[in-house]
Structure 1
Amino acid sequence: MSSVVVELSARDLVVADLASIAWSGSPLHVANVARQLERARLGEVDYLAVCPPSDVPVAKGAVDYRVKEGTGTLWQLSVHPALQSCGIGTFLVKAAEHRIRNRGLKRAELAVEECNPRARSLYERLGYVAFDRRPDSWDEQAPDGSLRRYETMCTLMGRSL
């Protein structure tokens, strides 16, 4: 068995990347990401892109500094489906934690859907510990373009940095 090593870098996600992240969700989701880029411009969030040398995002995610005092809250973490389980999610979380530490904060938190045990396993391997549960919901765009409400239960997890 042979392996290929590809260098990754993390940088700010920018408007020009939006067309390249359609794999991360519906057009409604990508429009939401565009709105979050305005918050990034204001310094309320960091929105990251993980890229190979082509500089095309293969993962993306954000850190919100307004959710909880003294904490960076990771959210909208996503790795291209064809590249999952290759270490890119770990790279993304570590890059987000680096941004949190650079702001002088010492805690990272996130919410993981209870129907996503693979993601929870990753976060546990990275030192995140469950501390609560809460329901969450958002609007999703169906393939026919209609909107539907998605409801889920999330486990809240955190770790000291």
Structure 2
Amino acid sequence: MPAITLKLSVRDLTHDDLASCGWAGPPMHLAHVASALDRRRAGEIDYLAVCPPTGHPVAVGGVDYALVGDAGTLWQLTVHPALRSCGIGSVLIRALERRVMDRGLRRAELSVEEDNPRARKLYERLAYVPCGQRLEAWDTEGPGGAPVRYETLCTVMRKDL
């Protein structure tokens, strides 16, 4: 079967993009993303979208500069489920790493859930190394859209840029 090549671009995610990002998570998650975009004005974060020529995001993720003083913390990384394992996650992570370096920082960190070996394998392939574990928690939507607290054990991974 012949390979299909698709030209991708990376740009800042906007509030207008959220309407086409339903694949990225439930409405509560997208509300958190909208709040994160408001933090961009204060220079605390960057939030990027990887897009094909249609301009609609097929991958999104952010980097938070306020969590760790000497590193950018990559978070909320996701690729459209139908397009995973096509290299798009690597494009997103490399673009976020460039943003970290543009800030004069030379280290990136991220957390990966213990039960997500596929993502961990990607991060290891991109030279992230484990440096600890921590319990993380966030609000998500339960049955009927009711908010529930989700807790999970994560491996913290770092990369010198």
Instruction: Please say whether Structure 1 and Structure 2 have the same fold, judged by a TM-score greater than 0.5.
Output: yes
1:13 aligns with 2:13: yes
Q: Which amino acid aligns with 2:43?
A: G
**Identity of paired residues, percent?**
57
* Structure 1 segment 51-130 matched on structure 2, within 5 A: 51-130=51-130
Partner of 2:142: 142
For residue 149 of structure 1, report the CA deviation from its aligned partner: 1.4
Which residue type is aligned with residue 94 of structure 1? R
What is the TM-score when the length of structure 1 is the normalising length? 0.98
What is the CA–CA distance in structure 1 between the aligned matches of 2:40 and 2:76, rounded to whole Å?
14
Residue 144 of structure 2: SS of its match in structure 1?
coil
Q: Distance in 2 between matches of 1:119 and 1:34?
A: 24
Please list the CA deviations of residues 122-160 of structure 1 after superposition, one character each: whole Å capped at 9, or x if unmatched: 000000000000011111112411121111000000010
Give the Cα separation in 2 of the matches to 1:12 and 1:42: 15
**Match for 1:114: what amino acid?**
E
For structure 1, the residue ranges without an aligned partner over 5 or more in a row are: none
Pairs aligned (count): 161
Partner of 2:153: 153
State the partner residue of 1:47: 47
The one-letter amino acid of 2:50's match is V
Provide the rounded CA distance (Å) in 2 between the counterparts of 1:47 and 1:11: 9
- Give the Cα separation in 1 of the matches to 2:73 and 2:149: 23
For 2:48 and 2:84, locate their aligned partners in 1 and report how far apart those are by CA, in whole Å: 17
CA change 1:137–1:32 in 2 (3 A) is same
SS of equivalent to 1:133: strand
Distance in 1 (alpha carbons) for counterparts of 2:70 and 2:136: 22
User: For residue 26 of structure 1, what is the aligned residue in structure 2?
Assistant: 26
Which whole-Å CA distance do the structure 2 matches of 1:32 and 1:143 have between them?
Answer: 19
User: In structure 1, what is the Cα distance between the partners aligned to 2:145 and 2:103?
Assistant: 39
Deviations 1:38-68 (A, max 9, x none): 1012110000001011110000000000011
Q: Give unmatched runs, 5+ long, in structure 2.
A: none
